[in-house]
Amino acid sequence: MPSDSSLFDYDVIVGGAGPAGVAAALAASRAGASVALIEPQNALGGVWTSGLLSLILDAGNKPGIMEEIREALITRSAVADHRDLYDAEAMKIVLDELCETAGIDILLHSKISEAVVCDGSITEVILECKEGRRHISAGCFIDCTGDGDLAARAGCGFDLGREKDGLTQPLTLMALVAGVPENIRQQKGKGTASCLPKLAFLDMLCECGYEPSYRHPSLFPLPNGLCALMANHQYECSALNSADLTKATLQARREIHQTVDAMRRIPGGWDQVRLVSTAAHIGIREGRRIHGEYRVTLEDVITGARHPDAIARCTFGLDIHSPSLKEGGAISNPDNVQSLPYDIPLRALIARDCDNLLMAGRCISGDFDAHSSYRVTGNAVATGEAAGIAAALAAHQKSSPKALPFMDVLDRLETLRIREVKTRSPE
């Protein structure tokens, strides 16, 4: 993006460059749109990179951009035996290269702070940049901020937290640790990517005098010799409030140091464990769920809903981390709800209250329970890809995403995927 402060006009502006935003920008650009991708952090990838997530879930049945990213990581030897545990530094460069090659205007260190709305459509967004405020305009916008910041600034309705008390899932600061004994790192977890069963790891930490606030602490073995540590839950904090985010981050970092100190006291060669890094941004499981033309519900997850305008099939079940410590501090499914693979329809990505706005990733339209399932990154990428195509088509046709025949989007999604597979398979 040029560095002067004049108004720039794009076909599509994507706010937020997490898994959803990167996929949205790539898909829109490959569909022929001029695209700006806006991100406050110093890297593309959101929770994948700035959040040090390290594990991609619900990716196996996702062709297209998700498959392309997984293959690029494999080429760099940046995935563990279990192919969806990855090296976050490699993920950064993979995403940089994909977006630069696609000709996307990337703007890091910049945040969307306002949206200007005229006759029901966004005309421009205002960015907080290092040099001050900048205005940029587009025909169509995609909110991939995770928290739904762009849609909220445009006046769209949303839900936050669970229906009965508004509480959201807890926040978690991820960390990288070195020096975990190799015999532990090499263990294969049963039904989990963690190399230690979570309750066994909890017992080990408790025996060493420390009980982590996440009662299912996990240790993911990464391809770079390190492990990703997920051991804290910051309860009853709003992801939409800087004071809460600050409190959660400081508390979490203190807990991570205490956890690593306790790990060093575990008998059997753990004394060399050390903390390499805490994530640049605390991981946010839940922000606003923007009202769309369709709301994905718990009923959809239980019944395995099918839709004619399906753009992704979710196979990951409900995953609700206790919103408060008194609810157990782990992952709860009190009613033992069984889920079936279900569809996300394109309508869940189309903002109800704005004529030129789509959402992708964890801020799409859904209820609290369904969100706990579709929020994982394989699905974020699939929703981003579909939103990107829909936004490019809407911008070119100068129409609203609401007016697009969904078959046009599905056809285009299929065409792009076929082309990607062809160009990626030299053998």
Ligand X SMILES: Cc1cc2nc3c(=O)[nH]c(=O)nc-3n(C[C@H](O)[C@H](O)[C@H](O)COP(=O)(O)OP(=O)(O)OC[C@H]3O[C@@H](n4cnc5c(N)ncnc54)[C@H](O)[C@@H]3O)c2cc1C
Kindly list the residues in this chain that would bind ligand X in the complex (CB under 6 A): 15-21, 38-41, 46-47, 53, 55-57, 111-112, 144-147, 149, 172, 174, 283-285, 361-362, 375-377, 380
Nearer to ligand X, 242 or 425 (CB): 242
| Amino acid (1-letter code) at residue 16 | G
Minimal distance, residue 37 CB to ligand X, in Å: 9
Nearer to ligand X, 41 or 339 (CB): 41
Minimal distance, residue 136 CB to ligand X, in Å: 12
Nearer to ligand X, 41 or 259 (CB): 41
Minimal distance, residue 223 CB to ligand X, in Å: 16
Nearer to ligand X, 34 or 377 (CB): 377
- Please choose, from the candidates 373, 375, 328, the residue with its C-alpha nearest in 3D space to the C-alpha of residue 233: 328
Minimal distance, residue 368 CB to ligand X, in Å: 14
Say how many C-beta atoms besides its own lie within 10 A of residue 67's C-beta.
18
Minimal distance, residue 127 CB to ligand X, in Å: 8
Minimal distance, residue 403 CB to ligand X, in Å: 25
Minimal distance, residue 76 CB to ligand X, in Å: 19
What is the radius of gyration, based on Cα positions, of the chain? 21
Minimal distance, residue 279 CB to ligand X, in Å: 9
Nearer to ligand X, 31 or 376 (CB): 376
What 407-414 contacts at long range (C-beta under 8 Å, 24+ apart), as own/partner pairs, is 409/309, 409/311, 409/346, 410/309, 410/311, 410/346, 412/31, 413/27, 413/64, 413/311, 413/385, 413/386, 413/389
Place of tokens 């693979």: 341
Minimal distance, residue 60 CB to ligand X, in Å: 12
Nearer to ligand X, 123 or 397 (CB): 123
Backbone angles phi, psi at 186, to 5 degrees: -80, -10
